[in-house]
Amino acid sequence: MTLKMDWLKIQNYILLFFFFSVVAAASYHGYFAKWTNRDDFDGVKIAMENETKPPFIYRRLMIEMVQKTVQIIPQNVKEKYVEKYKSDNYIASQYKKANVIEKYILEYYVLYYLTYFFLLGTMFLMRETFINVTQNKLAGTGTAVVFTLLFPLFENGGGYWYDFGEIFFFSLFLYFVTSDKLLQKKTLYIFLPIFTILATYNKESFLFFMATLFPFFAIKFGNKKACCLIIFYMFLAGITYLFVRHNYAPDNTKSSFVFYQLQDHITRIFEGWGQTEIFYSVPFGRGTHWSYILLMFILIKLVWKKIPTVFKHNAYIALLITTPLYLIACTPGELRNFSLLYPAFWTLIAFYLKDKKVE
């Protein structure tokens, strides 16, 4: 009986993997058709040669994963695939904006697929998290699907491969803090410290994201221990960020922690409200478009009262941190700069779907 149930579970996961693979592929296509690997400024080349200007120079994890992967591939296999991609460069043939430089053709393809698998992994983590939170499999699965399809719209105005690593680590930590795995010592003192370093090495926003998780730790450990743990993880994130700055930042930028954007925000505050941008071959709103503000207002109005208090506190902290950061240090009109609020958005979607009945 147990063997039969396990086999049934395996079959279900095979189907789920296929369905999620297709959804992730559709989403990734929507993103890549717009931004490629930032070939508009030879993104892969300058990343591989450490020429990237700040703040992109600080987002090292995925680039170094690509470099290490290419290094460990046997030379004969490497040569075989380089020749294959040169003769049949399907990325360049499918995407008009793609500019695959031959010198880094293998690295380009590895980064292409690595980014895709980060997105696919995010879907599974998100599904497990919100099945646990809502106690509803359709809501958990639907949340992963809906957000994945919406994600290219968050990348309007500018999109980068490390944003996929960012949502992966955000969903990974949310998975831990909403499950009983957080109570395990190996999770607290081995897995989370390692993942904190990796997440910050991917993108420094994780330093601030860690602070937004305080309510989840407080529920499980009380305020005092939760505060100590959060400070410990933020310390690791801070040390990681300083390490990256010291080793990769150009000398003329090491004295500046942020790029001040407040004046741009003031002068361009209403600029993007009515503009559109093409995603999935259809015009959608650009940046903080009025339609997105309206949709968020409707979603919050319908669902806010239904979500758990701990997620509300998480959202309040994220909003408190995001508002000054966005106004001072972020490029105006880019939705991806509100990434600390992603967990709140995921939760709103999950509880909206939970109450929906099939008619």
Residue whose C-alpha is closest to residue 175's, from 143, 197, 207, 201: 143
Cα–Cα distances (Å) from 258 to 245, 329, 357, in that order, read: 12, 6, 47
- The pLDDT tens digits of the residues spanning 210-263 come to 999 999 999 999 999 999 999 999 999 999 999 988 887 765 555 454 555 656
Residue whose C-alpha is closest to residue 146's, from 348, 323, 304: 348
Q: What is the amino acid identity at position 75?
A: Q
The pLDDT value given to residue 261: 61
The pLDDT value given to residue 276: 81
- The pLDDT tens digits of the residues spanning 136-156 come to 999 999 999 999 999 999 988
Q: Which two tokens stand for residue 145?
A: 């699907």
- The pLDDT tens digits of the residues spanning 296-335 come to 999 999 999 999 999 999 999 999 999 888 877 777 777 8
Residue whose C-alpha is closest to residue 45's, from 107, 113, 97: 107
- The pLDDT tens digits of the residues spanning 37-72 come to 888 777 888 888 876 666 667 889 999 999 999 999
Domain ranges, ordered by start, for the chain: 2-354
The pLDDT value given to residue 255: 44
The pLDDT value given to residue 288: 77
Asked if residue 79 lies in contact with residue 182, where contact means CB atoms within 8 angstroms, the answer is no
Q: Which two tokens stand for residue 163?
A: 């944003």
Residue whose C-alpha is closest to residue 261's, from 60, 57, 58, 55: 55
Tell me the β-bridge partners of 279.
282
**Mean pLDDT, residues 273-288:** 81
The pLDDT value given to residue 196: 98
Half-sphere exposure of 153 (CA within 13 A, CB side): 16
Residue whose C-alpha is closest to residue 268's, from 322, 332, 336: 332
Q: Which two tokens stand for residue 28?
A: 């990734």
Q: What is the amino acid identity at position 103?
A: K
The pLDDT value given to residue 358: 46
The pLDDT value given to residue 3: 58
- Of 200-204, 269-273, 307-311, the range with the lowest mean pLDDT is 269-273
Q: Which residue has the higher pLDDT, 253 or 209?
A: 209
The pLDDT value given to residue 169: 98
- The pLDDT tens digits of the residues spanning 80-123 come to 999 998 888 889 889 988 888 888 999 999 999 999 999 999 99
CA pair distance 43, 107, nearest whole angstrom: 12
